[in-house]
Amino acid sequence: MLPSAVDRLFKAVIILHRLITMTTTTSQVNAVLRTPPASPAAAAAYFSASLAFHADVSDVAAALAAAAAEGTDPGFVVIDSRSTASWDQGHVPGAIHLPTALIPEQAERLLDRSVPVVTYCWGPGCNGATRAALALAELGFQVKEMLGGFEYWVREGFAYETWEGPAEKAADPLTAPVDSDDCGC
C-alpha cells in the first residue's frame, strides 16, 4: 500500500519541524552567554579594581576584631553615612557617624586624609555608602565601600550598638557559616 499524499505531507512537516527546531535550538545562546564573558585579562583588571573599591563585611569585622585584640589601629576608619535615626537604631561599634549630606562640611574636621575610610549604609538595596564614598573621594580621601552595609553586618552575627547599648543577633545561615568563623572565601 502506497502512503497517501496527506501522510507524505505530514511526515515532511514533521521532518521540517525537527530540522527547524534543531537549527534554532543549537544556534540560540542562553541568557548567561548572550553577552560573552570578558577576556581573562579584562576580567582580572575588573575584579582587581573591584577589590580596590569594596570591602567585605566579614573582612571589616575581622580587621576590627584583630586590631582590638592586639591593641592596635586597624589602619582604616569606618563611616556610617545614614541618618541619626538610623544610627540610633544600630551601627558598627567604633564607626563614626557622618551622614552623606554632611560630608562636605564635616569630613575635614572628623577625618585624617592619610587614613583610608570604609563607608556603609543600610545594605545592598541602598546606595548611600556609594554616594558617601564618592563625596569623600572628591574631597581627596582614600575610600572603600563595605558591601552589604549594616544589614549584612547584623545578618552575619556581628555585635552592634544602638541608642540603648550593645546588641547582637544570631548569624543568618544564608549569609554566614554556622559553627565557623571563616566562610572560606
**Per-residue model confidence as pLDDT tens for the chain (185 residues):** 455 654 554 454 455 455 444 444 556 889 999 999 999 999 999 999 999 999 999 999 999 999 999 999 999 999 999 999 999 999 999 999 999 999 999 999 999 999 999 999 999 999 999 999 999 999 999 999 999 999 999 999 999 999 999 999 988 888 877 777 676 67
Domains of the chain: 54-168 (3.40.250.10)
81 φ/ψ angles, rounded to the nearest 5 degrees: -95, 10
Would you call 73 helix, strand, or coil by DSSP?
Answer: coil
Strands 165-167 and 160-162: antiparallel
Distances (CA, A) of 123 to 27, 97, 118, 145: 40, 16, 14, 11
pTM: 0.79
| C-alpha to C-alpha distance for 54 and 48, rounded to whole angstroms | 10
Cα angle at 105 between 51 and 102, to 5 degrees? 65
pLDDT at residue 7 in the model:
54
Query: What H or E segment, with its residue span, contains residue 117?
Result: strand 117-120
